[in-house]
Every structure is written in C-alpha cells, then in structure tokens.
Chain A
Amino acid sequence: MKRVSSVWIVSLIAAVLFGVLTVSPASAQQKNIILATTTSTQDSGLLDVLIPMFEKKTGYFVKTIAVGSGQAMAMGQKGEADVLLVHSPAAEKKFVDEGYGINRRLVMHNDFVIVGPPSDPAKIKGIKSAVEAFKRIASTGSLFMSRGDNSGTHAQEKAVWKAANINPEGQKWYQQTGLGMGQTLNVASEKRAYTLTDRGTYLALKKQLGLDILAEGDAILLNIYHVIEVNPAKWPKVNSVGGRAFADFMVAQETQGVIKTFGVDKFGSPLFFPDAGKKDEDLGK
C-alpha cells in the first residue's frame, strides 16, 4: 500500500516536470516571433496558409495573436509583439510617428462593404457614397451593429460616421457587439441590422448569413493592410530580426502571388488584393 502510494507521488511529480519541460521549448526564444494581427486576417484563413509557408522557409516560429487592430498596436506600444499586420491607417501613422513602429509597408487591401437585410429598410441599395448610406441609416433609425472593439473595422466605421457628421453613440438604433467581425455579422443577420464589414469575412460567411451587400465601391471604404515592425529601440526585448524577416516575407513576390489567388477556389473571387510596393494614394483607382 505504502509502496503503491509512493510510486503514485513520484510518477505524479515526474509527469508534471516532464510535461512542463516538453511543452515549453524555452531555448528557441530568438526563433519565436510574436505577430499581433487583426481577427479578420485570421478568420479569413489567409494566415493559416501564409504562416506555415514562412515558418518552413525561415525556421522561425510565429505566434499569431489575433486581436483587434487597436489591441495589436497597444501590444506593439508595450513591446509585447515583434511585428504587426493591421488595417487602421490613421492609428498606424500615429503609431509610427510616435516611434513605436518602423518600416510601415503596404501589403494588401480589400474593401469594406455595407451589408444589411435584403428588405433594406433604409433604402441604401446602389448608393455609391458610404457617407450618404450612413446618413440614410441614421435618418431612418434603422438598426446598425458596430464592432465597438477598436478594431480596424471599427475605426473605419467611425471615420465614415465622422465624415457624415453624425455621432451615433448612445442612439437607440446603434448597438455595439464588442465582438469579432464574424460574430458581429451573425448578430447583424439575426437582428436584421446593417453593419460595416470587410469583404473577405463577409464572403467567407456569406452562405449562412441573411445579409446582402448594399453599398460598395467608395474610396473611403478601402481596407488597407500594412505590416509594421515594432521599434527595437523602444523595447530591447523585441525580436527585430524576426520581425523584419516576417515583414519582408509579407511583401515578397511569392507571398503576394499567394495573396492574389487566396479564396478564389472557395468563393469565386479573391479576398485580398496584393499591393506591395504601391502607395496608399494609388489604391482604389
């Protein structure tokens, strides 16, 4: 009996030690890259294709932390990430200007679209101007779902409201989910509400949503992704070499080729348009 108990204890401790040792390859630290990115890139499945490619090529191990663009940049500000892949241009510029990020490079874009119930109570279908569409939604008091999570999409949405000179905060028809894009689309579908979404996520989920694209094509609705390296001068622990390697990979020709065709087999059209080397101003033309 006693012998049995001791064996138990010993094997228990051994199991704990073994487990702790095997699950944390601590030695590979400089091989680790923390990529802070937006949920949309993860939810679209693009990173599931690109990351293994990169890892295979370089031997790095990428820890993808999928959060909103706001949180991704907050992580960068604290030196808790090595490289960012985000889509919130105004905030990005501020981030770089304040010296937290370096080498901000254009990677790709897709666009935002305004989706809503097919019944279209605000009658925005076919309107080219996003600002005009938002004004109609507000004036008819039609339900609108906002991400409300400081993500790139949320920032984009706020920019449109601002351009329309409307402050929707606190309005009865304006609700915030605080969730990711996919879940917000589902909520909007359930509640027959309008929302602003990136095209990729919408296409990926389209078959189960009762939402149609009602307004698209306005230049203000471009969803532009940049890769930004976190400035190692601010935070010495940042893996700048790894961050640079990943950023370089994202704008490399081969990668751009993959981005160009990603999603075509599944949705009939690509989810992203590669833009490496272009300038922001040239997009959407």
Chain B
Amino acid sequence: MDLILDGIKKAFWLLVTLDPEVMGITWLSLKVSGIATLVSLLLGISIGSVIALTRFPGRRVAVSLVNTGMGLPPVVVGLFVSIMLWRNGPLGFLEILYTPTAMIVAQAIIATPIVMGITLAAMQQLPKKLRLQIFALGATRLQMVWILIKEAKLPLLAAVMAGFGGVISEVGASIMVGGNIRGYSRVLTTATVMETSRGNFDVAIALGIILLLLAYVINAILTHIQQHERPR
C-alpha cells in the first residue's frame, strides 16, 4: 500500500517538475503509438472496406483471419518483426531494428487487424440499399467507399480508440523491436517493465499512472467527439 502511495507521489512529482526524461518517454509513447494508429487506420479502413464491400473467393477465410488478427499477441508480432528486421534477416537492409520506426511497424501490425475488424463490422451494419442509393446518386466506386466510411464514422472512432489503446499499453513487441534504449526507444510501458526489474517500484508505478492518464485523456477526447457527433 505504501508503495502505491509512494508511486502516486512520485508520479505527481515527475509530472509537476516536468522531468525531462519522463516527458521524453511520454512524448515518444504518444508519437510512436499515435503514428502506428494512423498507419493502422489507413490500412485497416481501406482493406476492411474492400473486404466488407466486395465478394471474392476466400472472403470468409479473410474475414476469420481478420477476426483472429484482432487478438494477435503482441509478443508474437514482436518476434516476427524482429526476425524480419534483423541485420541478416529478409528486411535487414532497412536497418530499422531497435528504432522507434520498428516499434511503429510492430504496433501498426498489432492495431491494423483491430481497426480492420471494426471497420468490417461497421460497414456491414450499414443498410445494403445505401450502396445502391450512392451509386444511383452518380458516385464512382471510390466515392461510394468514401461516403460509406463517413457514414460509419462513429464506430470508426471506436476503432481509433481500440487501436490506440491496444498499442500504447503494449509492451512485448515494443521491447523486442525497440530495445528499450534510453532516450531513444524507451516508451512508458518498456520503462515501466525496466523500472520494475530494477526494483524502482515508485517510478514504475508513476510511469503506469502517467500511461493511464494519457490513455484516459486520449479516450476522453475521442469520446467527446463521438458524443458530439451523435444524433442530438
């Protein structure tokens, strides 16, 4: 119990004094997970829309793959990304292992199926005839998809939240492909793990609290947008 109180005090102190290292770690967490989420949105929404709106052989398999992918274990992603990115691995020439870029790649791989799955469900929830109506309004295929995405914006905001929440709290892949390098690829989750292993429980708890605060603020903003967009 004392530990948790110490942690809260420490978190408060680190935040109030704007501790440069903690601020750097927080900013990097935000940046890496934010960019990963954006990438996953671009990929997830476009591919999810295609799967939702077209009929092709193997579509069922694709849908169940996406649904399975929604629960992709981060460490498995971390392992595969590491192997791919090793210097002597197939993508070694990119030279991005142990960089924030590699963390973005891994986190985007984790978040994309989540966004894709939610997109898929959201698109399938729209009335079937809406597509005909959009075509009848003279839309091209691309315009049709864009309009449908806009129609599904509320569930898609949920996809943003789920994707971002998933990656910013993820640790396994980040530590494997990022390396938890001080001042470079250390994010809130990997720093928390390290401080725990160093026995600095107060700092670990403080970092955890900052992570929670961050996740809360981002979700509060998105929820506000979502509620604002709701039917009044």
Contact = CB atoms under 8 A, between A and B. Distances in A.
Interface of A: 5, 12-13, 15-16, 19-20, 23-24, 26, 29, 34, 39, 42-43, 45, 48, 51, 61-66, 78-80, 179-183, 185-186, 204-205, 208-209, 235, 237-238
A51 B182 contact: yes
Nearest to A16: B38
Interface stretch (B73-81, B91-99, B132-140, B213-221): B91-99
A34 B196 contact: no
Contacts of A45: 198
14 contacts: A16-B39, A23-B100, A26-B95, A43-B198, A48-B182, A51-B182, A63-B181, A63-B184, A65-B98, A65-B180, A79-B88, A80-B86, A208-B199, A235-B88
Contacts of B35: 15-16, 19-20, 23
Contacts of A39: 197
Given A5-B146, A29-B95, 7 more contacts: A15-B35, A20-B104, A61-B184, A64-B182, A79-B87, A179-B197, A204-B199
Contact of B101 (A13, A24, A208): A24
Nearest to A186: B199
Nearest to B146: A5
**What are the nearest 8 A-B pairs in CB distance?**
A205-B199, A24-B101, A19-B35, A23-B100, A182-B197, A180-B197, A237-B87, A63-B98
Contacts of B92: 237
Contacts of A63: 98, 179, 181, 184-185
B150 interface: yes
B31 interface: yes
B218 to A, nearest CB: 15
A181 B42 CA distance: 42
B23 interface: no
Nearest to A238: B87
A147 B201 CA distance: 20
Contacts of A237: 87-88, 92
B95 to A, nearest CB: 5
A23 B197 contact: no
Contacts of A43: 194, 197-199
A24 B99 contact: yes
A209 B198 CA distance: 12
A64 B92 CA distance: 18
Interface string B150-194: 100000000000000000000000000001111011000000001
Contacts of B88: 78-80, 235, 237
A65 B97 CA distance: 11
Interface string B193-232: 0101111010000000000000000000000000000000
B201 A208 contact: yes
A23 B99 contact: yes
Contacts of A209: 199
Contact of A5 (B31, B150, B181, B196): B150
A186 B184 CA distance: 28
Nearest to A17: B35
Contacts of A12: 38, 41-42
A80 B87 contact: yes
B32 interface: yes
Nearest to A48: B182
Contacts of A79: 87-88
Interface in B62-113: 86-88, 92, 95-101, 104
Nearest to B150: A5
Interface string B30-47: 011011001101100000
B32 A23 contact: yes
Given A183-B197, A235-B88, A24 B100 contact: yes
Given A16-B42, A79-B88, A235-B87, A64 B179 contact: yes
Contacts of A208: 199, 201
Most buried by A among B41, B179, B197, B201: B197
Contacts of B196: 182-183
B86 A78 contact: yes
A24 B198 contact: no
